[in-house]
Structure 1
Amino acid sequence: MENTTIKAVEMIRHQRVDYHAKVAMILGSGLGTVTDQTEILAEIPYSDIPGFPETGVAGHSGSMLLTKMNGHPLIILNGRIHFYEKGEAGAMAPVIATLKLLGIETLILTNAAGSLLNSAPGSVMLIKDYINFTGQSPLFGVNNNNRFVSMSKAYDAQYRYHLRQIAEKNDIHLAQGVYAWMVGPQFETPAEIRAIRMMGADAVGMSTVPETILARYHNMKVAALSIITNYGAGMDDVRLSHEQTLNYAPKAAAKVHTLISGFLDHLYATN
């Protein structure tokens, strides 16, 4: 994978030799409109980047964008591959490894998730921790001692503090909670949702945890936002569907843009 990663980095750098970013963001389902207010300098389909997996889920365009948001360099990955697509928890490993070699120090993750509390569809939850219900790890098969990654501070506390400050300043309700990773692609049963809630989770989804583990493996700092697109199964009478996700996620895109813009202002001002 190392030679492939080097080729990927060379290919990306060739697009804009004068472009250098320290921050990257992965967009979840239906959040493509976050890029509407960014300056896009180059767009590269995953299929053109050596080693990058192609996404097969609606709402994930599968492309890397070299952008500037509020004048700050930000690599945006419009989409991800999920565990349920190929049964590989480490499917995003080439992507995260490439970001590391590109000089990325901070990874911002977003996803669409089901609410297990009172957060309504269209709202945003700041992830403070996760529970991995899958029994899977993207580090299976890694043969070095770095695979024993401490996850006690998976989501940077200072980043969470600043994101909450930005939310308060812009009158955005930003709940903070624990994200539960389930494999999917089927939605959870009402019984599973009751069990997950009892275990202390506040939102549930099918992504994000593998990228978090991979980013921490590469010593990146991580911040993560869940876009609430529905309630967990059995919590209301609405039939769950991916179309529901695609309908509600864009409604939170403006909030995400405001939060990330403010976060970049802070991050680049302190570096």
Structure 2
Amino acid sequence: MEQLAMKVEEATKRIQEQMKEKPEVGLVLGSGLGVLADEMEDTITIPYNEIPHFPVSTVEGHAGELVIGKLAGRQVMLMKGRFHLYEGYDVSHVTFPIRVMKALGIDKLLVTNASGGINTSFEPGDLMLIEDHINFTFRNPLIGPNDENMGARFPDMSEAYSRSFREIAEQTAKENQIPVKKGVYIGLLGPSYETPAEIRMMRGLGADAVGMSTVGEVIAARHAGIEVLGISCISNMAAGILQQPLSHAEVMETTEKVKETFKSLVLAIIPKL
């Protein structure tokens, strides 16, 4: 943990050298959802490979840039692209940017992802407010010695996703006539998609959507005392629901179709967090 703290300090210092104002809200954007960066004003952009100890995104739809600036009247730090365990990164690398956000003074986080719909009432293009998650990556960023300056040894996860933030998001969606679903996200290692048998099992466990990210980031955020809002874009129906194969191309195609709705919702939410 001491080594992690030093790395966080070095990365934070590099970002602060370019920052104009302290960011209030952090955003982690999933596959194809980086469109929000286009709405930002007075920005600075830092490629991940220029930040000490930051991993680099290798997946299509993840630009690999940190953008800091104004969005909907708030100073935000936006990750255009995240890191995944299936890229070969350790969970400590995947969650490293969350640690840096906390060190920069951020205490509110919006995480988004593209996910497969398990709930058969969902359709591709739906937006789902994440009520809770199931960690089927079986990886936890808190394994190992704990630094009390970063967070408690045994952080409470009974409200991993802020109830008040969800209520704000739900009310905002209603005001803007944007339909939203609510449900439980289950995170897996990937990169292979799930089998139909696995999807049936996950439905039985109470999962509504499945993806390959998010849970580690949220654990690290809650450990750091950061309040979280999560939104999933249902980019495809999970294996076995429809009689068709799954592909990342379908994910990108769906997020492209829904990006304006997604953008409108997030821009309306951010001033209220």
Query: Normalising TM by the smaller chain, what interval?
Result: over 0.9
Give, in whole Å, the separation in 2 of the partners of 1:81 and 1:147.
25
Letter matched to residue 150 of structure 1: D
Give, in whole Å, the separation in 1 of the partners of 2:184 and 2:99.
26
Give, in whole Å, the separation in 2 of the partners of 1:147 and 1:63.
31
Matches within 5 A, 1:192-271: 192-267=198-273
Residue 259 of structure 1, CA deviation = 2.0
Aligned residues: 266
Give, in whole Å, the separation in 1 of the partners of 2:25 and 2:195.
37
Residue 25 of structure 1, CA deviation = 0.3
Matches within 5 A, 1:90-129: 90-117=92-119, 118-129=121-132
Residue 119 of structure 1, CA deviation = 1.7
Q: Verify: 1:9 aligned to 2:1, yes or no.
A: no
**Alignment partner, residue 22 of structure 2:** 20
CA 1:142/1:111 → structure 2, altered by over 3 Å: closer, same or farther? farther
Letter matched to residue 206 of structure 2: G
Equivalent in 41, 51, 54 of residue 52 of structure 1: 54
Q: Specify the SS of the correspondent of 1:90.
A: helix
**Alignment partner, residue 160 of structure 1:** 166
Give, in whole Å, the separation in 1 of the partners of 2:92 and 2:7.
15
Residue 147 of structure 1, CA deviation = 3.2
Residue 223 of structure 1, CA deviation = 0.5
Q: Could you report, residue by residue, the CA deviation over 1:108-146 in whole angstroms, capped at 9, with x for unpaired residues?
A: 100000001222111200000001122211112233572
State TM-score, norm by structure 1: 0.94
Residue 55 of structure 1, CA deviation = 1.1
Q: Specify the SS of the correspondent of 1:91.
A: helix
Letter matched to residue 253 of structure 1: K
Give, in whole Å, the separation in 1 of the partners of 2:196 and 2:169.
32
Letter matched to residue 63 of structure 2: S
Q: Could you report, residue by residue, the CA deviation over 1:35-76 in whole angstroms, capped at 9, with x for unpaired residues?
A: 222225111001000111111111111110012112221111
Uncovered stretches (5+) of structure 1, i.e. residues with no partner:
none
In percent, how many aligned pairs have the same letter? 39
Residue 2 of structure 1, CA deviation = 2.0
CA 1:74/1:144 → structure 2, altered by over 3 Å: closer, same or farther? closer
Letter matched to residue 11 of structure 2: A
Q: Specify the SS of the correspondent of 1:184.
A: coil
Residue 197 of structure 1, CA deviation = 0.3
Query: CA contact under 8 A between 1:178 and 1:202: conserved in structure 2?
Result: yes
Give, in whole Å, the separation in 1 of the partners of 2:153 and 2:86.
23
Q: Could you report, residue by residue, the CA deviation over 1:229-266 in whole angstroms, capped at 9, with x for unpaired residues?
A: 00010000221011111111122222222222222221
**Alignment partner, residue 70 of structure 1:** 72
Give, in whole Å, the separation in 2 of the partners of 1:194 and 1:40.
47
Query: CA contact under 8 A between 1:40 and 1:65: conserved in structure 2?
Result: no
Query: CA contact under 8 A between 1:33 and 1:250: conserved in structure 2?
Result: no
